[in-house]
Structure 1
């Protein structure tokens, strides 16, 4: 113990405390395999009594050696032994044990032995933060690390300790899941009695603040180091990689460290705040805490924009540019010219070589720009976009010389719909490039473009959903095939199609694609616009179209289905107009048929006079028949008025009905029959003869279809010119036997007059009934003929 001097242990955390590992009576040690063998160093006197030396840790520093030790309980610790000539700050040692921060490694024991200072701390088997930095870390992990390191620095600064050497190697991973880090290695730390002191500079220049070059020590120095760590965590590239120490010192002394390579705008804001050159205006715990809570604290502007080194500058468009921001604005103003000027001829162009030489004078961030974008196969416009973002990411996002913020995106759809607008072609080109090249992700790297990443993800989700919906609608049995031209697939026409889907036409101009972009950028406003447009589309369809009605009823408030309704409305209008034209043509055809039928009816009714004359003429033989019969009956059987009897042919007969009475009854019977035929003739007009009472005679004589004049000629004997027999002989042949039969009946029947009266009464009644039946059948036939004529006309159309 003679060599053990100035040993000091924290009474709450040394081995004498029951809660802290230390020597225990009766405990055995447990060796762990896999440790490096044979350490080259020995433990300082006093520590060897209760710690076993396990191995030397490969992480060594210029001022100390690290030893892995194990206590009697098997718990492992790290002993940091300072090299001779390096002494720890005793004030820091005095204040560290009192810290109650989980983000600052606790020093379990400190002391001086064998002429060297030492510290005993907990062992972190997961290593330090450098082990996680093989590439960019996810934003969630970086946010967690920032919060913990910020809390650790705030705890140190509250007790007046400035770390002075914060770097990934001095951040231990206390737990990998969940991620828990803590600040360690306080060999260069100092306790400040005032806000700023001057001391020797840190040996780790890559993470050193600019003021450290002059020996200034303040808490702001640690916040700068935190900013450099965050920048490396997000980019995966150490600061000042490939630069000599002299170049690093020159950079720190003359210009800011840019945060341009940080892709996320919120993290870029954090880096800009922590990497402010003026330590008085640099972010500290309060601003970082506000940022962690979602705020956006202001960043103090630099005294001047980043400048290129002294020289002639970069020639472009008749001017020379040395200031990056000024060149960026000039490139945006002359976008088309700049893209062809610098990148139109590839790497063989003189303008590109001049640009590359100019870029070579800047810091190492140009390497990622040149190798990652400018020397690749990207289109000239895309290369120019990456160049502008590198030159001045504080500008609003621009592409093709146009501002592309979330407020500007919805207007592209309106321009794409209007081919007459002067910006129509530019809007279509811009929309396709944003989609095909995934440029919204790139544009999100500009200030004011942080929400473009979310918009791009939502846009691509909308496009995938629309393409599924459009393909389903194109194949649906309810929709007409021509609707496919109204429901194109959005996005690139080379996208893979689902097997079996109906082929879709190209979305050219990309109205659907840019409408979906507007929906992603302004969801609520675009949804309302689509709902209003769908309502106008419904109103524009003048009548119900079955497939369009089905589409409208299934739309609901789904913006994609509403868009389908708007796109399909013109086809529905065409269908409705075609239906209206068809109905109009059918109506006109029906009207023409009705007109022809009415004309035919007028011609038929115009023959009423002739038909009535024919009816009277055809019924005159009946009058003759009745009068002749009545005369015979009256002459033979009629009485003389004295009520006696008389002898006819030797036969005594009683007196009968006088001829005068029978003649009157005959006239009445004929009047009934003639009246029935006249009523029928007035109803039938020209159709009277084919349906007349003598139609059977007309057919028998072969004159049924040629009218009453032909029949009259036949009756009058004029038919003798045709060689046919007239119907007069037939009447005579029928009448004579009838009269003979009546005379015979009268001769043998005392009531012959009464029988004749019955005939005079029954025959007209039967004739009237028959005429009514004929009229009914004719009307049925006429209606059938009318229906057939109209139906045949519709079928011919």
Structure 2
């Protein structure tokens, strides 16, 4: 059941003061009537009753379970006896009119006033459903609305019941999904039973909401026919299909006059079939307006004929309008404050020129004086107008201008410079500002500088803008704090680009404004828009993940959105770096494998060189020791000692040389680090000196030969064991040195390869023109 209060009724005539109506005699408007309290338990009060014409609406549970499961709530409506619903309508609704018409389960009198018990169809009206989804609804969804309303109205009209108040507030969304709704038409408090035996339609007191009333129903005494309900359906369809109501006025007098004198303009209805339906239902002449048969044909895919559009005059008994002097603005005479406020807001440049001009302000102040003591104006309104007229002695600032527009058009939608500031309008403003639209950025800057949202919160569509203003200011103050950790450590690699992205004031304020308007919805949207696309490859940077994981702080989610481009660049660079490192690893692995293969192939030659070197080092021992033994010059004990040392010394030489050959390996062992290479290099030097021409070279070669000969003679004559002992000692020292140097060399080579693999990959820069040096 809808949670809104029932339709307000003016039994004394439209436009008069309502305070002269009947006295409120219901007691306890915030609880169940005393006569029903023993049976019904109050769950929730759904209405805010301020006038006797409004029904008390509450959700209750029936302990006696007369109408089903006692756990299932019902809706109770308790009327004032002076505004009781038509008894014939109640009788009809007690029957079964189908699934799209509310059913009266029980009715009676409680504490002297009538009540009804109705099923609870849900808590969401079509108006609330549309408000949560700003903009034009999809055509299939609107067609579902038309189909359900067609079924509901056909069932009611067949029983001679005219609803008289078909509006989005009185249509409950029972169930909903992405592409289909289940609707129920409720609130028949204004409905009448016309009777099938009458030749002419009844004329009743004025009821209903002006924005949805048919021209013939907008008179002081309404003409009640089913055609009026079909006009209301047309207005509902036009609002859903266009995303906004086709009539800009909100004052009752202006709305009724506009409907009575002009055909509704539908430039925002773009679907051809829906536009045809709107033209058929919004035909001002009731005899040419579409009804149940034409709508049924339209639903079946047919195209019934549509009457030509007309612009006839208002009915004779339209409520008289107050006579006021018009105000000339941009070549048009404006008689109402609401219309002038709308034009000043839309034509804001001309309005600025008017308010900057002293003559223009004086003319406006004089014209506003007509409304200082107008009917329906409270003392507070008069006091505000007098204050504004005093402020217009000087060119007003934006807050003063907005206060003036609020006074002149309090029922106009919340907007500034023609831009609506409801949920959809702020979303469009943010989109245009992000795209670089200068006008949108200027408007956002004005909202920041002058704090205008507080003043717009009292206008329709501006509910909650004062809280939005406070939230917006908090977001702007907390922005730097929310993103400060990005520039401490572990943040984006390109700090300058990140700072530019986070401090673009032109569109950042617009983004924060939308975030302040829709904190929950925008948080979900930001989570979806900042989700990392794994198809692009690479993992998100750690700082980006840290921003997204803080779901409780929408500012960090917004920062993640602003920095998503940099995060993707870093991820791509890291992925390229890893790709290059992997290629280098595979290349090094291939080189290692090939090197190991070649080492295995070259190991026998290396071992052969080791054996050759060891043989070349040990062969002279036999000659020297044998010569010493033959000549008898050396002591026999020295000779025996030499022969005893020869065998283990030879084994030691062969073992040391073979081990170092295996440890160092082929390619690098011989000739630079092998014993054979050392012997060859040592023999090359005196040979080279001997072969060279010149007395100095010959002298050096002769000296070397004499020294070697003297050493050999000394060893033969004195100590032949010196040769094996000295060779082993020298080879051991040199082997240790070779092992240490090769180990250090291998360690340095591994470090060089690791540094090359871990070095960051430089981004390719622009080609450099060759200079003389690099040419």
**Band the TM-score falls in, shorter-chain normalisation:** 0.3 to 0.5
For normalisation by structure 2, the TM-score amounts to 0.43
